[in-house]
Amino acid sequence: MEYRQLGASGLKVPALSFGAGTFGGQGPLFGAWGNTDAEEARRLVDICLEAGITMFDTADVYSAGASEEVLGAAIKGRRDQVLVSTKAGLPMGDGPGDAGTSRSRLIKATEDALRRLGTDYIDLFQLHAFDAATPVEEVLSTLDQLVRAGKIRYTGVSNFAGWQLMKSLAAADRQGYPRHVAHQVYYSLVGRDYEWELMPLGLDQGVGAMVWSPLGWGRLTGKLRRGTPIPADSRLHQTADYGPPVADEDLFRVVDALDEVAEETGKTIPQVAINWLLRRPTVATVIVGARNEAQLRQNIGAVGWELTPEQVAKLDAASGKPAPYPYFPYERQEGFARLSAPLFPYPTTPAS
* Active site members: 62
Query: Which among 269, 255, 268, 267 has a CA at the least distance from the CA of 225?
Result: 255
Sign for the CA dihedral angle at 176, 178, 181, 186 comes to negative
Which parts of the chain are beta strand (E)?
3-5, 12-14, 16-19, 55-57, 83-88, 122-127, 152-158, 182-186, 208-212, 283-288
Could you check whether the bond before residue 350 is cis, i.e. omega within 30 degrees of 0?
A: no
Q: What is the DSSP string of 194-254?
A: GGTTHHHHHHHHT-EEEEE-TTTTTT-SS---TTSPPPTT-THHHHGGGS----HHHHHHH
Asked if residue 101 lies in contact with residue 180, where contact means CB atoms within 8 angstroms, the answer is no
Neighbours of 198 (CB within 10 A): 21
Alpha helices in 99-181 (DSSP H): 103-117, 136-148, 162-175
Asked if residue 189 lies in contact with residue 315, where contact means CB atoms within 8 angstroms, the answer is yes
Q: Cα angle at 15 between 14 and 18, to 5 degrees?
A: 70
On the 0-12 / 13-18 / 19+ scale of CB atoms within 10 A, 12 is middle
Q: Please give the Cα distance from 188 to 143 (Å, whole number).
A: 30
Asked if residue 258 lies in contact with residue 252, where contact means CB atoms within 8 angstroms, the answer is no
